[in-house]
A = this chain, B = another copy of it.
Amino acid sequence: MYANEFDATMQMIRGKWKIRLLYKLNANSHSRFNTLQHELNPITHKILAEQMNQLIDDGLVERHDFHEQPLHVEYNLTKKGQSLIPVVDVICDWGLANVDISELKETLCD
C-alpha cells in the first residue's frame, strides 16, 4: 500500500543504484549479473542482488535463467520498465537544467 501515485513511483526508483541499473539494462539487453556489478562499480554484490530483486518484484525487470552450468542468468527491462525510462529522462533533464554541473560527480545523460 502506497501513500499515493507519486510515492508509488518513487518507491520503485528510489534505491541508490536503481536508475543506473535501469539505464544499463535499457542500453544493453541480456545483461548478466557479474557484468552489471563491474559496470556499476563499486556496488556491492549483495546490494546489486537486493535492488535487482526489488526491480523484479515491481515488474520493471525480468529474470531469465538459462539453467546452464556454469550458471547463466540474464536480465532485461519489461515493457513497464521501458515505459519508466522517459520519466527518468525528464527528471535528469530538469537536473541538468537546474543544478550546477560542478555539483555533480558525474552525469548520466550525455
Task: Show the binding face of A for B, using Cβ within 8 Å.
Answer: 1-10, 14, 19, 80, 83-84, 87-88, 90-92, 94-99, 103-109
Instruction: State whether A6 touches B91 (Cβ < 8 A).
Output: yes
Instruction: State whether B1 touches A103 (Cβ < 8 A).
Output: yes
Question: Chain A's interface: helix, strand, loop or mixed, by majority?
Answer: helix
Cα distance, A69 to B101, chains bound together (Å): 43
Selected A-B contacts with CB under 8 Å, 18 pairs: A1-B103, A1-B105, A2-B99, A3-B104, A3-B105, A4-B95, A5-B96, A6-B91, A6-B92, A7-B95, A8-B99, A9-B91, A10-B91, A80-B98, A83-B97, A84-B98, A87-B91, A90-B90
